[in-house]
């Protein structure tokens, strides 16, 4: 039996879809906080179980009989660790034979504040004694493209990454990698640094959007503090704005770059190109 936490989230749903290509639906558990949101999965034969991080009893029930578990990192930034710990404890109690965790690129050495909870979660998993595989995902390319409408309107992307290179990959690529690891043998003890085959700077992203849209788009590089203020002015909560601005600053020092090629190797194909993702966002 396979279980995926956060199965109604953007990554979780994609992982379920990939698993369904090779695994019978009644061997897949969608562990979700709100089962009503997974009704469509249940209609396709996927087992849906309530798994509320704040209610350990639901986690124990959700993981009963599970052999392999994908723990997708919580979206509760700066509140992730206790939630992750609750799932790890439940997995150990349930006798899960492999836990896979979606961490962050170079979490063990990254200067980014966002890496702290991922690093701590990896430590909790190691201390649990559970056989584990760590999926250190790079930045999601879709995160960059969320700013596309504003860039087209104002003629600029803004950030604080200087000429830092992002090895950002498509969410679909990360989903395929997670499914590949779950369904493969011999993964326990491995750590995969997952990143796109080809990295890009924000300036290069702006140039590609210019080329495809026919509009002049530039990259406006700001200080970390100024970028944080811009994000807050756009309605991003102060804590999250600080984390995102810090991530850009970390990227300027190479924290979100990797050229090891592990992602493409896991999914058995080249990773989705930035050019393709821009095209899909503009014309999809």
Q: What is the pLDDT of residues 31-89, one digit of tens each?
A: 999 999 999 999 999 999 999 888 888 999 999 999 999 999 988 777 889 999 999 99
Confirm whether 36 is domain-assigned: yes
Domain that holds residue 25: 2-139+169-194+258-269
CA dihedral (261, 116, 240, 252) positive or negative:
negative
Q: Is 71 helix (H, G, I), strand (E, B) or coil?
A: strand
Confirm whether 233 is domain-assigned: no
Confirm whether 202 is domain-assigned: no
Confirm whether 24 is domain-assigned: yes
Task: For residue 13, give the CATH number of its domain.
Answer: 3.40.50.720
* Burial class for 146, CB neighbours closer than 10 Å (0-12, 13-18, 19+): exposed
Note the pLDDT of residue 66: 98
Task: Give the closest residue to 161 by CA, choosing from 20, 255, 51.
Answer: 255
Confirm whether 37 is domain-assigned: yes
Confirm whether 173 is domain-assigned: yes
Note the pLDDT of residue 191: 98
Note the pLDDT of residue 237: 93
Confirm whether 29 is domain-assigned: yes
> For the chain, what is the domain count?
1
Confirm whether 229 is domain-assigned: no
The span from the CA of 96 to the CA of 15, in Å, is 19
pTM of the model: 0.96
H runs (alpha helix) in the chain: 10-20, 39-43, 56-62, 80-94, 115-128, 141-145, 148-154, 171-183, 202-213, 224-233, 238-251, 262-267, 274-283
The stretches in the chain having pLDDT less than 50 are none
Note the pLDDT of residue 79: 80
Note the pLDDT of residue 240: 92
Note the pLDDT of residue 75: 82
């Amino acid at each position: 039996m396979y279980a995926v936490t956060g199965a109604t989230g953007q990554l979780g749903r994609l992982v379920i879809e990939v698993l369904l290509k090779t695994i019978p639906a009644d061997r897949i558990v969608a562990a979700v906080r709100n089962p009503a949101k997974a009704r469509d999965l249940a209609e396709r034969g996927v087992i849906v179980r309530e798994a509320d991080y704040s209610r350990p009893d639901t986690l124990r029930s959700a993981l009963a009989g599970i052999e392999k578990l994908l723990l997708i990192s919580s979206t509760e930034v700066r509140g992730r660790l206790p939630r992750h710990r609750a799932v790890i404890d439940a997995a150990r109690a349930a006798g899960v034979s492999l836990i896979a965790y979606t961490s962050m690129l170079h979490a063990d050495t990254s200067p980014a504040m966002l890496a702290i909870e991922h690093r701590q979660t990896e430590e909790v998993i190691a201390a649990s004694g559970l056989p584990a595989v760590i999926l250190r995902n790079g930045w999601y390319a879709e995160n960059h493209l969320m700013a596309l409408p504003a860039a087209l309107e104002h003629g600029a992307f803004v950030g604080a990454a200087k000429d830092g290179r992002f090895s950002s990959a498509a969410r679909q690529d990360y989903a395929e990698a997670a499914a590949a690891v779950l369904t493969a043998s011999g993964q326990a003890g491995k750590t995969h640094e997952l990143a796109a085959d080809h990295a890009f700077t924000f300036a290069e992203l702006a140039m590609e959007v210019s080329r495809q849209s026919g509009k002049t788009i530039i990259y406006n590089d700001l200080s970390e503090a100024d970028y944080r203020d811009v994000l807050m002015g756009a309605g991003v909560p102060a804590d999250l704005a600080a984390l995102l601005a810090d991530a850009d600053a970390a990227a300027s020092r190479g924290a979100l770059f990797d050229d090891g090629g592990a992602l493409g190797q896991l999914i058995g194909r080249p990773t989705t190109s930035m050019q393709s993702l821009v095209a899909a966002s503009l014309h999809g």
